[in-house]
Amino acid sequence: LVRENLSSVAAFASRFQRETDLMERVSHLNVLRALGSGVWKNRLFYAVERLPGEWLEDHLCSGARFSTEEVIHVGLGMSRALLAAEAFGITPVRPRTSSVYLTSDGTVKLADIGLARILSDGVSPETVWSTLSPEKARGEKEDGVSDIYSVGVVLYHLALGKPPFEGYDSHTSFVYQLLNTPPTSLREAGCMISSDLERVILRCLSKDRGSRPAGPEALLKELLSVQDQSKAGKPTAGGAQDECGDFEIREDVVLAEGGMGTLFKGRQRSLDREVAIKVIRDLHSGNSEFQVRFRQEAELLAQVHDGNVVQVYGAGTWKGRPFYAMELVDGVDLAHRIAHGPKIGIPEVLHVALGVASALRAVWKFKIVHRDIKPSNILWRADGTIKLTDFGLAKSMRIQRNDTRYIMGSLGYLSPEQGLGSPVDIRSDIYSLGVVLYEMVSGRLPFGEEDSSKVIQAHAHAPIPPIPPERGVPESITRIIYRCLSKKPDDRYQDPAELLTDVEIALREPQATVPIAPVAPEARSTARVDSVEKNEYQLALSLGDYRQARKAAELRYGRESAEYAHAAARAQAAEVHQAETRALERFRDKDWNGAAESYRSIVDLVNQSRRSELADAINLCLLL
């Protein structure tokens, strides 16, 4: 719907009709198809095809950064859409993040072609200044090369999580930056995209239109060239062999060896802190497929900032081999704990479930699927924090990638859809987490990991072997594990948040007291430093004052921490329990309206299956 003040202007209405008529003629994969226009309640409107997906602006509002592969994908889609519009004489298009749509299958669709220019002509510059071209700011005529600038703004925003210029306090300061200040280098600002892609984006953002790609076709060719270089895993032309930047690598201290890389101990000079540095193995340094996967791992992991996910600090090149530096975790992996003990109790099983599910919730916010959830990729820090690591097989669901013909993952932990080469989403990771939990409580994998074909078929078709009764696993935890291990993704938890709700409920049970994390001997000498702040948080949890625990966690650890998420979930679970108790008391007192109101108060705080039960309870109260 067009705003009423514009709809009432005859000249605007006439131009609107001409542009929408022209839009309807444009049929292209990367253009959101216009279906028609008209007037409703004295307001102009136009209709477009409705497809499952999200606007690019919504992705960016969540704080997302896009990887090299994803930025190129969006840039190619936008370039092809601009070419289609150009064929019908529609230029400039003035693309922006709010006019780019990503369908659920990853197709890039450009909306409002033709309309963007007349709508922006009718509003103040402040509403569209983020993609304003320098020539528009100077009052000059715009053309297809001006659209290249706008594409550059969008791609810059995707790579860094913010536009090149924002204006410090006013439109005037924004225009000054736009006309006089060069954009900050993406890689210097901490972005991990390839230097080839950075050069293309910065060329698009040239103040002089003659220095930009000459139009959508030229930009398309440049992006395709960068994509070819990226897929081939070729080093950047003119790039130095060693670009360690802020990091020192201790070649004599090897922390671990993996299939793709070697993990060294290192140091970040600027912050004088120890880090772990993963370097691609020399064996794979000339293999383009491994080069691409290694870079993708670093870029995907760098998007996520969460207390239950190992953090990435930067990247570079060492002895001609790419590396990335990440958080050094003081602790052991879960595989070591399972193999060497001590025995894992029920509280600790729930503690691991809580940590990994929280990590999956964080990565799914960026539409990332890990695809290799297993004990060796779950780290147990000395202070008890659970950390998810190794994103070497991770996949972004924001773009479509045809790799389902390969079996990605570790045999014993494969979901049915992984084993059969079918498309996966976050529910595949939930299945793999279910396997990990099953292994923790039963002491073995459900189907072993010896014969690959038999294991894959068993995960896809065989019933899950029952957990031995002598293990003493509570029914609530058994239900969680078996639901995670449902053969059909639709029968599992549909997202990590739903799983977390049930884990939090299980934590309230008497046998699921929050575990006291083991403190490594080397950490005990410094444990007293934070005792006052930590005691307030732990004491509040112990006393069951979850609201106070949430406040203490926010002050001590921050709202993004695992501690805050844990306390908030416990507070919500306690709130639900209190409301349910109050509702039942009112029901027994025949206060039907009061009971219905109490049940209504928690509808938004529980999972889907509980909501349907609450609906039945509310309806019963209303009938009585």
> Of 66, 94, 81, 77, whose CA–CA distance to 157 is shortest?
66
For CATH 3.30.200.20, the residue range(s) in the chain are 247-327
Q: What is the pLDDT of residue 285?
A: 61
CA end-to-end span of the chain, whole Å? 45
> Of 180, 449, 234, whose CA–CA distance to 335 is shortest?
449
pTM of structure: 0.67
Q: What is the pLDDT of residue 233?
A: 61
Retrieve residue 476's tokens: 């609530």
Right CATH number for 333-512 from 3.90.550.10, 3.30.365.10, 2.40.30.110, 1.10.510.10?
Answer: 1.10.510.10
Q: Which helix (H) or strand (E) holds 499?
A: helix 496-507
Q: What is the dihedral of CA 323, 325, 328, 329, to 10 degrees?
A: -80
d(CA 435, CA 440): 9
Query: Which residues are designated catalytic?
Result: 372
| DSSP tag of 463 | P
Q: What is the pLDDT of residue 287?
A: 67
Query: Which is the CATH superfamily of the domain at 4-232?
Result: Transferase(Phosphotransferase) domain 1 (1.10.510.10)
Q: What is the pLDDT of residue 599?
A: 87
Q: What is the pLDDT of residue 103?
A: 92
Spell out the CATH class of 247-327.
alpha beta
What are the 10-residue block averages of pLDDT along the chain, 624 residues in total?
82 85 90 90 90 88 80 95 92 89 91 72 49 85 91 94 76 83 86 88 93 94 89 51 79 82 90 91 67 80 88 84 89 90 88 95 92 94 91 82 62 92 93 96 88 90 91 92 96 95 86 41 36 56 74 77 77 81 84 88 80 85 83
For CATH 1.10.510.10, the residue range(s) in the chain are 4-232, 333-512
> Of 150, 157, 129, whose CA–CA distance to 216 is shortest?
150
